[in-house]
Structure 1
Amino acid sequence: MAVLVLDDVLPLDLGIPAQVFIAVPGDPYELILCGRTAGSVRTAAGFAVTVAAGLEAVRGADTVVVPGYAPHLRELSADVLAALAGAHARGRRLVSICTGAFALAAAGVLDGRKATTHWKYAHELAARHPRVSVDPRVLYVDEGQVLTSAGVAAGIDLCLHLVRRDLGARTANQVARSLVSAPHRDGGQAQYIERPLAPEAPGVTLASTRAWVLARLHEPLTVPQLAAHAHLAPRTFARRFVTETGTTPLRWLLTARLVRARELLESTELAVDHIADRCGLGSPSNLRLHFRRALGTTPTAYRAAFAPTARPGFDRAHAPATAAGPSAT
């Protein structure tokens, strides 16, 4: 995995992939920092970082990560754009964090694709690159070979999503715990919350209700039941839930059920019908339906890819994409 460090790189964005991927048990990722050339690269904060390699690392990597940088200050050089376009043509996985999407867009690899970046720069990205479908609302976008994220914390979410996609839900959750991070948020959640919490309940959140739900995923829960646990009217509960999490109660609940199903597929030999029952989806056909809609694969195929016995020969770059899972916090 090559992390391409561009001039005026944002230091926090640069640290995200290293922090996440070196925390993966067993060291399955080999990271190398590279730039246009080996040596010193200036950051947006004024200090410099040293990279070990030049663009040859991009050409040899199976995954290339482009952290955020200051795209409005200068155009990227032709050799950098050619290296990114070449990696895309060879079928390599390209990932951007925050304004790193400007580099992918300039290389042409986002043309005809949906993408995101920090909401403050989304309009500029769309104006510069009209062939890119820019969504400023989401945390990250997984287009298979090309993945883009919003700013900073969303970069952590995207990197955890990659771990989940490559190595499964249990490993991604282990990494999230080691980073004291929420276990992988849904990429479709909002980047920022437009409405504050209701003033009549300062300091009160629905975290306890979400934790209560996670302990009862085998039950046929409804929004009125969740609202009753939170001692709120259903409409007030639903509104506050979206305010806190950026997603609806039902979408969050379905994602939680699918996360539980993935964990059981990875860690147990339970039959699919038993797993469907334990995660509250009722029947194997219902589990298969939602699994295919959300993940683009079947429970059986997912188990074959992510069960421990399947790991040694697993092709990480071509693993089935997975949706993100919620946490109580």
Structure 2
Amino acid sequence: MPKIAPSSQKNPLVCAIAYDGLCTFEFGIAVELFALPRPEFENWYRFATVKAEAGPIRAVGGITVDAQENLDLLQEASLIIVPGWRGADTPVPDELCSALRAAYDNGARIASICSGVFVLAAAGLLDGKNATTHWRYTEALAQRYPDVTVDPDVLFVEGERVYTSAGSAAGLDLGLHIIRQDFGAQVAATVARRLVLPAQRDGGQRQFVPRPQPKARVGSGLAALQDRIRASIDEDWPMERMAKAAATSGRTLARRFHEEAGTTPLNWLKMERVSRAAELLENSTIPLSDVWDVCGFGSAETFRREFRKTMGVPPLRYRERLGAV
């Protein structure tokens, strides 16, 4: 049975893993959240940096880190943070994997920021669990570790004392979540205010993922139809009209879309409309009340529902965050 009860400790020990090639921003998140003295609170964390391996620790940006060369310290930790990793294809030292597993068995919580998820996966701590990471690495994680269920959208995932966060800044969201668990919502809100951050962000990382170019083979028979629909995206495009424009049957059109675009005609159309709306929200000052009309959603309610379902946030919030104006 686990010996550590992290949330019940007055001064939980947090250990951050340092490694050669250390990601300075992710490591800085761990330091800012858990190592910074906070005399305004009666109880707070203790913090230690632990080397993952022997030898010099050179961080990104030319910084050298002087850390404790003592993985045994992890056995005393309430929380262990892996702030990124030097590469998805870079092997994880066996000694580090063993130390993380032993600490987990002892009751510690293990958290990763961004690419640090590959360390947790290599240690076997994510087998049969849900996890997330930066959107650039989600496919690699899923392919390399098929026993891990990868959620590519959320900012962080918690499960059975193992935490994973999405891209680098999502480590702040995860850290505030852990602080909230340990010391309560009021303390977490105070830390967030000091960081000039919301205590909780809504949405996931879908809103930040570059929109992919439409899939179509060179010379595809769908290209002309797709271009025609994009040129009149504000018009109604039921399946019957698509099939007529392509001079084929609805069944044949559906099969061709599946083969060449990997989706159904109507789902492709919805994604095109959402993508067009996102471009307008980012790069124009067109009123929100007009966006749904020029993108062919049919109603403001349908626009808001489909946009939020696809992008993870409402249209107004998307413009506030990513709009150029």
TM range (shorter): 0.5 to 0.7
Structure 2-normalised TM-score? Answer: 0.61
Q: Is the 8 A contact 1:35 1:51 kept in 2?
A: yes
Aligned counterpart in structure 1 of residue 302 of structure 2, from 229, 232, 235: 235
User: 2:312 maps to which residue?
Assistant: 246
Aligned partner of 2:25: which letter?
Answer: L
Structure 1 residue 92 corresponds to structure 2 residue 108: yes
Q: Which runs of 5+ in 1 are unaligned?
A: 207-231, 253-327
Residue 125, structure 1, aligned to residue 141, structure 2: yes
1:51 aligns with 2:67: yes
Show CA shifts across 1:254-282 (max 9, x none). xxxxxxxxxxxxxxxxxxxxxxxxxxxxx
Tell me the distance in 2 between the aligned counterparts of 1:191 and 1:86: 37
Does residue 28 in structure 1 map to residue 51 in structure 2?
no
Per the TM alignment, residue 186 of structure 1 is displaced from its structure 2 partner at its CA by 4.5
Q: Which residue of 2 aligns with 1:4?
A: 17
Preserved contact between residue 85 and residue 119 of structure 2 (Cα < 8 Å): no
For 1:15, the equivalent position in structure 2 comes to 28
Q: Secondary structure at the match of 2:46?
A: coil
- Are the equivalent residues in 2 in contact too, given 1:198–1:240 (CA < 8 A)? no
State the Cα deviation string for residues 11-49 of structure 1 (Å, max 9, x = none): 101100111222654251111111135774122444322
In structure 2, relative to structure 1, the CA distance for the partners of 1:107 and 1:190 (3 Å cut) is: same
Q: What amino acid maps onto 2:300 in structure 1?
A: A
The one-letter code matched in structure 1 to 2:18 is V
Return the match for 2:96 from 80, 101, 107. Answer: 80
Partner of 2:136, secondary structure, is helix
* Cα distance change, pair 35–237 in 1 and its aligned pair in 2 (3 A): same
Q: Deviations over 1:145-191 (max 9, x none)?
A: 00000111111111011111112222111111110112222475646
Q: Deviations over 1:240-266 (max 9, x none)?
A: 6668x82469xx9xxxxxxxxxxxxxx
Counterpart of 2:31, as a letter, is A
Within 5 A, what are the aligned runs for 1:91-170?
91-170=107-186
Q: Which amino acid in the other structure matches residue 98 of structure 2?
A: A
Structure 1 residue 94 displacement after superposition? 0.4
Per the alignment, in what secondary structure is the counterpart of residue 153 of structure 2?
A: coil
Q: In angstroms, what is the RMSD of aligned CA positions?
A: 3.1
Q: Is the 8 A contact 2:115 2:133 kept in 1?
A: yes
Asked if structure 2 preserves the Cα contact closer than 8 Å seen for 1:44 and 1:69, the reply is: no
Give the superposition deviation at 1:76.
1.6
- Structure 2 gaps, min length 5: 1-13, 212-274, 289-298
Scaled by the length of structure 1, what TM-score is found?
0.60
The number of residue pairs the alignment matches comes to: 226
Q: Percent identity?
A: 37
CA offset digits 1:118-169 (Å, max 9, x no partner) = 1101111122211111112211101140000011111111101111111222
Letter of the aligned partner of 1:43 in structure 2? A
**Higher-Rg member (1/2):** 2
* Higher RCO (CA-CA < 8 Å; seq separation 6+): 1
- The answer on whether the counterparts of 2:135 and 2:205 sit within 8 Å (CA) in structure 1 is no
Q: Which runs of 4+ in 1 moved over 6 A?
A: none
Residue 202 of structure 1 is matched in structure 2 by 284
Q: Distance in 1 between matches of 2:138 and 2:173?
A: 19
Q: 1:32 to 1:53 in 2, by over 3 A?
A: farther
- What code does the residue aligned with 2:301 have? P
